[in-house]
Amino acid sequence: MARVFNFSAGPAMVPEAVIQKARDEMLDWQGSGMSVMEMSHRGKEFMSIAEKAEADLRELMAIPANYKVLFLQGGASSQFAMVPMNLLRGKTGADYINTGAWSKKAIAEAKRYCEVNIAGEGDGSNVPAQNALQLSADAAYVHFTPNETIGGVEFPYLPETGDVPLVADMSSTILSRPMDVSKYGVIYAGAQKNIGPAGLTVVIVRDDLIGETIAGTPSMFSYQTHVDTDSMYNTPPTYGWYLAGLVFEWLKEKGGLAGMAAINERKAGKLYAAIDNSDFYANPVALDCRSLMNIPFTLANADLDATFLAEAKEIGLVTLKGHRSVGGMRASIYNAMPEEGVDALVSFMADFEKRNG
Ligand code: PMP
């Protein structure tokens, strides 16, 4: 068996220990005589899995008691609609900070339901400063994307929005470091980067924001529906929920989010140093907005891109091609990417430069 280091932006690597545990429990989960994927979501076995996963996530992120945690389907993309449907609460507009491709998608969807005020914009390589934000006093909420997965642009600060709820698309940064949940109205994330397999979407929502939806909101798009039923209004993504729970257990063993942050900073630091210490590689992002999770970089000569990718693949470093809208390379180094993977990439980059630079 040869496992590769997979630098995909998502679906991305899952910790090997988690996959092994899932393998060991695949046919017979803890003496139940069945696989988790065969269990009734309402049976006591799955209920215990679901409750443990939520409790562990609450512990890891120190989620206050007045926040609900929902395990949903539909991806972060469904949240682009669910957020305005649930949070407008009689208001007509919301503020959005635009820092890249995923902000733009959230904005385009919100425009179907409300007036969108662009409160600030980055230039693709940075984020607007707090004092440049033009927040509207009557906004229902302020939406931002703490980490732009494609551009590799991460907020170095938490936008201050006063009493207006802050909504964060944390798809590519959740669980990468400790964060103060109490500063947010809603946090949402697709699972396929730092949580587990695709198909599960985690939503953390402050309870006073739940209960009022715009006319015509489908039941499945109302947070209240899922709060009332403990995310079991319909059949939830049971296997993804179970795997997420295994990832949460693994994170606790790794020292929680503070432990992960230290590892993530070391990993990203090594890769940025490799890029910065060479004239052959470049990263276009402003120094203070560089992402810990997604690191795009270019080669001095783009004609070498294909060779770089092919040679990297040969030694087990895969999915390094940059997003089609950006070109170049992108190394996504989520929690599950071992430090050895980053070390292997850094040493391959140096070797490639020596031969081609
Ligand atoms: N937001 C961000 C920041 C993302 O990186 C992605 C997926 N790459 C999405 C939203 C869309 O997520 P999903 O595919 O789960 O709808």
* C-beta 82 within 6 A of ligand 1: no
Residue nearest to atom 15 of ligand 1 (CA): 75
Structural domains of the chain ordered from first start: 16-253 (3.40.640.10), 255-356 (3.90.1150.10)
For residues 206-230, average pLDDT: 98
For 112-138, what is each residue's pLDDT tens digit?
Answer: 999 999 999 999 999 999 999 999 999
- Among residues 353, 339, 357, the alpha carbon closest in space to that of 270 is found at 339
Residue nearest to atom 6 of ligand 1 (CA): 171
Instruction: Name the percent of the chain lying above pLDDT 90.
Output: 98
Q: Ligand 1 centre from 113 Cα, in Å?
A: 20
Given the residues 193, 241, 250, 321, select the one marked as catalytic: 193
Model confidence at 71, pLDDT cuts 50, 70, 90, reads very high
Is residue 357's pLDDT more than 90?
Answer: no
Task: Tell whether pTM > 0.95.
Answer: yes
Atom of ligand 1 nearest to the CA of 170: 3
* C-beta 171 within 6 A of ligand 1: yes
Does 241 qualify as catalytic in the annotation?
A: no
Mean pLDDT of the chain: 97
Residue nearest to atom 5 of ligand 1 (CA): 149
Q: How far is CA 23 from the centre of its chain?
A: 25
Asked if 80 contacts 133 with a C-beta cutoff of 8 angstroms, the reply is no
161 vs 62: CA distance, rounded Å: 21
Q: Residue 31 burial (CB < 10 Å; 0-12/13-18/19+)?
A: exposed
pLDDT recorded at residue 92: 97
